A = this chain, B = another copy of it.
Amino acid sequence: MTSTQERAEDLDLPYDVFAKACPSRGTLEHVTGRWGGLTLGALHEGSLRFNELRRRIDGVSEKMLSQTLHALERDGLVHRDARPTNPPRVDYELTPLGREVAERLLALIHCVEGRMDDVLAARERYDGTRGTF
C-alpha cells in the first residue's frame, strides 16, 4: 500500500481533491478561483446586486463575474433571486451551503491578509538571495 492510499483512507471521504477526476477538484476551483473566492467573500457580507458585486470586486469584468456567478449558482453555493419588478431586480446571496464554504474561505483570506508583512519580507529575502547568483 502506498502512502498516498493510506492518506486517502485516513480521510475516510469518498471525494478527494488530489484525484484529477474527482468532481470536488472542480468545485474547489470555483470556490478558490481568481474571482470565485472574492465573490463568495463579498456575498458573505450580505446579498448584493450584480453591479454592487462588480464594484466590490475591484478589477472583475462583467463577463468574468457573470461566469463566476453561474458556476457558483450551479454548485448550489449562490442563490440568484430575480424579482419581477419593473425594472427587474436581481439579487445574489449565499445559500446555507455557500455560507459554510465562505466562512472557511474568509478564515483563509484573513489569515493571508494578516500575514502579508511576513510574506513581503520573505519575498525581499528571496529576491535578494537570487540576486547574488
Contact = CB atoms under 8 A, between A and B. Distances in A.
Interface of A: 4, 7, 11, 13-20, 23-24, 27-29, 31-34, 37-38, 41-42, 45, 55-59, 73-77, 97, 100-101, 104-105, 107-116, 118-123, 125-127
Q: Is the interface of A mostly helix, strand, loop or mixed?
A: helix
B74 A27 contact: no
A113 B31 contact: no
Contacts of A56: 4, 18
Nearest to A55: B4
Q: Which of A19, A28, A74, A115 has the most CB of B within 10 A?
A: A28
Contacts of A121: 76
Contacts of A28: 37, 108-109, 112
B7 A113 contact: no
Given A4-B55, A97-B122, 13 more contacts: A15-B113, A17-B37, A17-B109, A28-B112, A32-B37, A74-B126, A76-B119, A77-B119, A97-B115, A97-B118, A101-B108, A101-B115, A104-B111
